[in-house]
Amino acid sequence: MKETPRIAIVGGGPGGLLAAHVLHGHGLAATVFDADTAVDSRDPGGTLDLHADSGQIALEDAGLLPAFHALARVEGQAMTRRDHHGTLLKEFTPADDDTAAPEIDRGQLRVMLHEQLAPGTVHWGHKLTGLTTENGVHRLKFANGSTVDADVVIGADGTWSKVRRRLTDAMPDYLGVSFLDVRFDDVETRHPGIAALVGNGQLFTTDGAGRAVIVQRNSNGVIRGYVAFRAEEDWAEREGVDLADRASVREFLLREFRDWGPTVRPLLTDNDGDYVARAFTALPAPLTWERVPGITVLGDAAHAMAPFGGHGANLALLDGAELAHALHEEPTVEAALTRYETTMFARTGHLAADANAALRGFFADQSDGAPHDVPDREAELRAYEARAAEYRAAPTPAAR
């Protein structure tokens, strides 16, 4: 690119930080602004698997794949499937050299991406409150009273993105399923039964009637995940549940999951710390918009979807890399943003629609009461590798 635009990235999650890495590698300056006060100032959530065909390609482009593998857990690709009585239905154990989709804690990934950026790249404590444009210059206003002018604004600010509001009126919808974050610490000592149920990777447990527990081994002896159930979005108020009172939440769970057996019941009741209530939401899919000069979004800000398939963070990373490459390779900003959005829309639309449909289907009632099936883990991993080879072999970005 002949231009030297001022690039502002709103959001210091994986996608925003990765975009900054690749932009800097191309010699393009970019500054990241994030509402958090520090990289580790809040709980970033549990673990995620980075796929060979997306997240790992982006990390490789940024020169960070070795740093990822130093932290990643190959054994975390394991998957166990049990019914709501704890009966083993299916399990998969990866080979020691299987790197199709290793796990990494979200916090570890964010810290790793941040630590390897040049000091001062990320401005913490900058919560975006306004974005206006005058004469082609975008002015970002932050809650701390500061303002920044930019030629390019990249919204990496998540599902409820403020930057996206400049592009489309689309807003996330509730998918009809709520969940409670659960966490079990020092599991080998304090929760050996749960540790045995989960194994080294992920545990899927469902009753085929709209209720499930999906948990994953994290690092440092921690297991995290969620207890999920079909419900109205205001279920706690309707049920008289005090979310700040663990006893109240546990009473609700034992009532709601009353048919679940004693083997799996500790997954509902033995949570360390408070339960955190959340809801599954997603943007309409497929979602597109008309070009707005100098502004675009990536990751959940562009295509927030249900977590089925594990696409969220992976697509955010790949979005960030591809957007950075386009800004380097195309002659103008608008040519770059057009190229990026065209490719991103084509890749993510069907994935989002499929993920949202899969979540609704998984939590629908089975007529015979049998548990829903889950994807074949071995087949998933091999598909990631095959698509990675296809991506690298594609002659142009549009072919990807």
If DSSP codes are grouped into helix, strand and coil, which group holds residue 233? coil
**Residue 49, annotated ligand binder?**
yes
Amino acid, res. 297: V
Give buried/exposed letters for 165-186 (b at 16+ CB in 10 A, else e). ebbbeeebeebbbbbbbbbbbe
Q: In 3D, which of 300, 296, 348 has the Cα closest to residue 323?
A: 296
Whether the CA torsion 62, 340, 359, 284 is positive or negative: it is positive
**Residue 224, annotated ligand binder?**
no
**Residue 300, annotated ligand binder?**
yes
15, 320 in Cβ contact below 8 A?
yes
Q: Which two tokens stand for residue 323?
A: 């957007």
Q: Which two tokens stand for residue 271?
A: 């949570």
Question: How far apart are the C-alpha atoms of 123 and 351, rounded to whole Å?
Answer: 32
Question: How far apart are the C-alpha atoms of 99 and 353, rounded to whole Å?
Answer: 27
Q: Which residues are annotated as a binding site for FAD?
A: 49, 106, 300
Q: Which residues are annotated as a binding site for NADPH?
A: 42
Q: Which residues are annotated as a binding site?
A: 42, 49, 106, 300
